[in-house]
Structure 1
Amino acid sequence: MDQRFSGRDGHPFWLSLTFIPAQEEPSGRTVIVYAQDVTDSRIADQLTVDSRDLYNLFIKDDQSMISFSLPDGTITFISPSSYSQIGYHPEEVIGRNRAEFYHLEDVEAVNSSGGLLKNDISIRRLRHKEGQYLWFETSFHMIRGEKGEITRIMGIGRNVTRRKHSEEALASAQRVARIGSWGWDLVKGRITFSEELRRILQYSVETGQVNQEAFLALVHPEDVRILQEAVERAKGLGEPGNTAYRMILPDGEVLMVHVQWDVIPGPEGRPAQLFGMMQDITERMHMEEQLRESERNFRLMSENSLDLISRHAIKDSIFLYCSPASRSLLGYEPEEMIGTSAYDYLHPDDLEMILNQMAESEDSGLIPPASYRYRHKNGTYVWFETNSRYIFDAQGRKTEIIAVGRDITERKQFESKLQENEQRYKSLFEYNPAAVYSMNLQGTI
């Protein structure tokens, strides 16, 4: 039997024990023990078992593809998972060069970086037997001989195509949204930037870690304090936050950015890193400024215009906005009219005409000018002439109505008097029994 013992130095050793009864003793109570040190053989057996288990683990792992190749790239072994991963049986791969399976661009990258003769982790494209390319993340390890020369290269690869596509989709989304990520080491005072963020900043920051002073030099002098105060708050409170500030790029362009971050604590619980996103909002800020300018101009015109400017919902022509001219024209405060229907103020004799006109305009999309009587707050009616049009959204759907109306009461009264005078003049000729004629100064009738 084999038994494990502990030596004086604490290291274990194995002995093979054989027990034999002594023949001279009739009682049979004396036993001779033969002990043989079998420590080396036990260790060798265990190594054999461990190696076999490790080998079986590699061979049966369908998620990884293990390969061995010579320094010149010739493949000498590849695990059976090659069939499930890239569609090739091992015998179709062994004896061929690795470069035969790489994408052409990746072959050039391998050659320019010194090939595979170094311990490294790389992400490259491998050609599937069906022709498509798959992304593999492979860890390479050099195996050296007694003289230190490289004898073989072991590669352990995993299919990361799905992850790569997700990363590319994220990078594409970041390019469209002009968003990049960054990390700020508060202890070392250094910052790292994603490739997209470096592109946004016109590559004014280097790859790897950048000194925070170099980054602050890009911030607009008037906004440096804003950023520094935000960082100090993050250090002090250890809470996520956000801020916006301007940056000056190498070509002089001023960039408006919005940043937000999370705080990562260190071993002692104090804030050690900030990790966040930066978005270029320059275009959005310009658009917002243009919108504010447009709103200021509209408000300036509407508040000082003698005409009644209003916005209405499509249904029931509910007032959404009413300019201050409502006070002088109709006696109502704008707030009194907002939320009420424009039809509520129409003269009963004009209501049907306007409703029919609006019904017809829903098909044509055009609202013709209209004249009608509108009720003043004092109960009288005022003649109005209104020009209206529909506002459409990006899909071409009607969203609301904008209208500009003016008081034409005096014009209507003048037209009424003119019509009355014409009638009187006409009656003077039609019902007068005497002859009535006119002639010029030369006597011509």
Structure 2
Amino acid sequence: MQVNDMMDDPVTGQPGPASPASEMEAVHDPATAGRNWSDELTFRNFVENFPGVAYRFRMHPDGRFGYDYLSSKCLDIFGVAVEEVVKDASLLIGMIPESDLDQVTRAIEESANTLSPYMIEHRMVRKDGKTIWVKASSIPQRMDDGDIVWDGVALDITDRKIAEEAIHLSEETLRLAQRIGRIRCWRYRIAGRPIDPDSRDILFFSEDTPPRHLSHAELSRMIAPVDAAAFDAALDRAIADGVGFSLELRTVEEGGGSGYALVACDVLRGEEGKVAELIGIIQDITATRKAEREREAAEQRYRSVVEDQTEIISRLTIDGTLLFVNNAYCRFFGKDREELIGRKWQPSAYPDDVATIERQLSRISPESRVRVVNNRVFRGDGEIRWVQFINRGIFNADNKLIEIQSVGRDITELKATQQSLLQKERELSEKNAKLEKLNIAFEVVIEQKNEQLGNLKSDIIKHYNAFVKPYVNELKHIAKGRQEIQYLQLIDQGIQDILSPFADELLSLNRHLSPMEMKVAGLIRSGLQIQAIATELNISPHTVKYHRKNIRTKLGIQNQKINLRTHLLQVIR
């Protein structure tokens, strides 16, 4: 189609500028208007008061097109003046969005080819940016000169389309709700008649099945027999009293299974105020009830575990109000559950500990959900007991503290044991301190005794050398036999050894030397050989060797190339 700036004059029929739409004469010629109006004024009033736009659209054989006439509502609906559109028809055509233009063009071409009525709904975008919906209806006729003329009207159906979209959205929402909520709907048309069990007055529909008509008996058979009477009674009351109902009933599924459903209805009244219709739903709540039963069973198991605990368990709000206490809690504090629920925990705590408890509870957070508090409480009999409470915060989805669960155990005996241990530790520390002082005193005394003993030994040696040894030496000079001289030397050496540290040092080296081994060690130290020691002690040389071996072993020099006499002289000075 092409827009022609020079349309045929609607009055003369000759080519020329298109006439203004306000000149009604342009459409009153019976030869061109195709209408036989007996009263021009009536036609004018009708057109100007019509809620849409009356128009005549013309298309020439060569494809040019334009408007012969548009009513004054053109400005209200399309936002452009009649004169502008008559001068340039593309103003209206250009408002049609591309998504709708092809459909409009095909509809015009089909109407032109078949001279069938043109009727279409499409969108238009006005110059001010507003999108409207338009419904155009017209009847074509072919003129003698080959032009095709459409006389019709265009209506603004934007509000209707918005309403339809809202209805469509509501229907989609309803279908979605039905699918998600497993809801089926029914409408029971009463119309003032008593219930007829066999009359198929019930329209039953659901999201996944088309609507179907049911009788009252068929609807009742969806209800389990044990609840059918309650359903029928509820229907009767709704009809008689005009009040809806809501019931939870057991149902019979099509496959023969059983379930639970929420059956509810509302009442619609007729013109005379009588009940005309019941509108209801049947919502499958089997899964919900099953979940509730499982939850109740789990809660019962949890409650049984909690109630059987010997620990005192409670749940409280953040301000300290008790929401739950177990039996052990009631027994410990000597009160019934009814006396405790709804009350604060503070009165049962020892007054001096309340501030500490509250401070610890206030520190519960998503990062630190558990706080352990050891505090004193008043037991039911008035006795003060120590209890350890493990307080765990319970948070909602926003990490806001909503409750605190507290598990307590009596630690009075443990506290007493700890106190006793602390007392014992203090006493032991005091005794250790005293022992340390005594040890210091003993060390001083021992040092003094050793010093006195050393002085005594020194005095004895001096006295021996001064008063005894000269006589021993004299005896050596007057002794006649070799054996007598040897005996005197042994006596002198023995006395020297007794007065020297030899005996003590020898014993300190090894407390396991026998008396004979000590004699042998003394003789070895004095320089005697094996045969002389054997003769002196009246034992065999083999026995002397045996004792020498034992002495070396006990001195820790066995299997070493160390002279025994030299070693004895070195370690015993």
Settle same-fold status: TM greater than 0.5: yes
Which protein has greater RCO, CA pairs closer than 8 Å, 6+ apart?
1
1:352 corresponds, among 345, 352, 355, to 355
CA distance in 2, matches of 1:106, 1:220: 55
CA distance in 1, matches of 2:101, 2:315: 60
| Superposed displacement of residue 375, structure 1 | 0.7
Q: Does 1:231 align with 2:235?
A: yes
Amino acid at match of 1:55: V
Amino acid at match of 1:236: A
CA distance in 2, matches of 1:93, 1:226: 70
Equivalent positions of 1:361-400 (< 5 A) are 361=364, 365-400=368-403
Aligned residue for 1:361, secondary structure, equals coil
Q: Does 1:334 align with 2:331?
A: no
Query: Cα deviations across residues 87-124 of structure 1 (Å, max 9, x unaligned)?
Result: 5666376998999669659959x99xx9997999x9x6
| Superposed displacement of residue 198, structure 1 | 3.1
Q: 1:258 to 1:366 in 2, by over 3 A?
A: same
Q: Give the equivalent residue in structure 1 for 2:158.
A: 159
Deviates more, 1:395-404 or 1:182-191: 182-191
1:216 corresponds, among 215, 219, 226, to 219
Q: Give the equivalent residue in structure 2 for 1:301.
A: 305
User: What TM-score, normalized by structure 1, do the two folds share?
Assistant: 0.61
Aligned residue for 2:371, secondary structure, equals coil
CA distance in 2, matches of 1:282, 1:133: 48
Unpaired runs of at least 5, structure 1: 1-43, 146-150, 436-445
Amino acid at match of 2:374: S
Equivalent positions of 1:148-297 (< 5 A) are 156-160=155-159, 161-164=161-164, 166-167=166-167, 170-171=170-171, 174=174, 175=176, 178=181, 183-186=187-190, 189-192=200-203, 198-199=206-207, 203-204=208-209, 206-207=210-211, 210-212=213-215, 216=219, 219=222, 221-222=224-225, 226-245=230-249, 257-266=261-270, 270-276=274-280, 285=289, 288-297=292-301
Aligned residue for 1:368, secondary structure, equals strand
Contact 1:218 1:249 in 2 (8 A): no
CA distance in 2, matches of 1:248, 1:224: 11
Query: Cα deviations across residues 196-220 of structure 1 (Å, max 9, x unaligned)?
Result: x732xxx12x14x533479738935
1:54 corresponds, among 46, 49, 54, to 46
Contact 1:329 1:407 in 2 (8 A): no
Deviates more, 1:230-239 or 1:291-300: 291-300
CA distance in 2, matches of 1:320, 1:217: 44
Counting strand residues as a fraction of each chain, which structure ranks higher?
1
Contact 1:67 1:75 in 2 (8 A): no
Amino acid at match of 1:409: T
| Superposed displacement of residue 55, structure 1 | 2.2
CA distance in 2, matches of 1:67, 1:181: 47
| Superposed displacement of residue 159, structure 1 | 1.9
Q: 1:53 to 1:83 in 2, by over 3 A?
A: closer
Amino acid at match of 2:240: G
Amino acid at match of 1:321: F
Q: 1:269 to 1:318 in 2, by over 3 A?
A: closer
CA distance in 2, matches of 1:57, 1:86: 16
Aligned residue for 2:157, secondary structure, equals strand
Counting helix residues as a fraction of each chain, which structure ranks higher?
2
Q: Give the equivalent residue in structure 1 for 2:125.
A: 128
2:317 corresponds, among 313, 320, 326, to 313
CA distance in 2, matches of 1:80, 1:285: 65
Instruction: Give identity over the alignment, percent.
Output: 20
CA distance in 2, matches of 1:106, 1:405: 80
Q: State how many pairs are aligned.
A: 365
Q: Does 1:411 align with 2:414?
A: yes
Unpaired runs of at least 5, structure 2: 1-35, 59-64, 143-149, 192-198, 441-573
Contact 1:142 1:154 in 2 (8 A): no
Aligned residue for 2:188, secondary structure, equals strand
Q: 1:153 to 1:245 in 2, by over 3 A?
A: farther
Task: Let me know the Cα RMSD of the aligned residues.
Answer: 5.2
| Superposed displacement of residue 271, structure 1 | 2.5
| Superposed displacement of residue 167, structure 1 | 3.4
Q: 1:128 to 1:213 in 2, by over 3 A?
A: farther
Query: Cα deviations across residues 314-335 of structure 1 (Å, max 9, x unaligned)?
Result: 12x2223222222322212222
User: What TM-score, normalized by structure 2, do the two folds share?
Assistant: 0.50
Q: 1:300 to 1:261 in 2, by over 3 A?
A: same
Query: Cα deviations across residues 39-79 of structure 1 (Å, max 9, x unaligned)?
Result: xxxxx999655444332220xx3xx5667889xxx997765
Amino acid at match of 1:126: R
Contact 1:265 1:273 in 2 (8 A): yes
CA distance in 2, matches of 1:254, 1:99: 60
